[in-house]
Homo-oligomer: A and B are copies of this chain.
């Protein structure tokens, strides 16, 4: 998109945010920069692409991947679903595809009929409620686990009170 530049001065546009395009020009990052910013490995970014979860917004003429802010947000979402919730990449892809479907339809929201809109909203709501339920199960497990640890600490402190050192 922001690739194939009419300004032949920069073919790669690696980290350049050209002033002549105005302040709203998107900052495209090379894979190493993106990985550092996200705290993930370069290999992971390439693997997500290989698995069809993420296509970087652009490529340089040399073939280097270029990541837009939206791409970074997508990676953060992938990581949340993977590591916070324990989904595998097939499940993550399914959720992302559902998200993508929603944004596509939201795009021609103005042209849609009210019943189509209602169906869309209900569908999105159900997915969110499902996801929330899974998150809450995880939270409850973790809170129980923390409470057990706190109980152990309290028992420890009681024993410790009995000693003078």
Contact = CB atoms under 8 A, between A and B. Distances in A.
Contact of A136 (B136, B146, B164): B146
Contacts of A122: 160
Contact of A132 (B125, B131, B146): B146
A128 B148 CA distance: 10
A110 interface: no
Q: Majority SS of interface residues in chain A?
A: helix
A162 to B, nearest CB: 9
Contact of A83 (B86, B118, B131): B86
A121 interface: yes
A82 to B, nearest CB: 10
A70 to B, nearest CB: 17
B146 A114 contact: no
Contact of A118 (B124, B149, B152, B163): B163
Given A135-B149, A156-B121, A142 B84 contact: yes
18 contacts: A80-B141, A84-B145, A115-B165, A117-B159, A117-B163, A118-B160, A118-B163, A128-B149, A128-B152, A128-B153, A128-B156, A132-B146, A132-B149, A132-B153, A135-B142, A135-B146, A136-B146, A138-B142
Closest 8 CB pairs of A and B: A118-B165, A132-B149, A135-B146, A121-B160, A139-B142, A125-B156, A118-B163, A128-B153
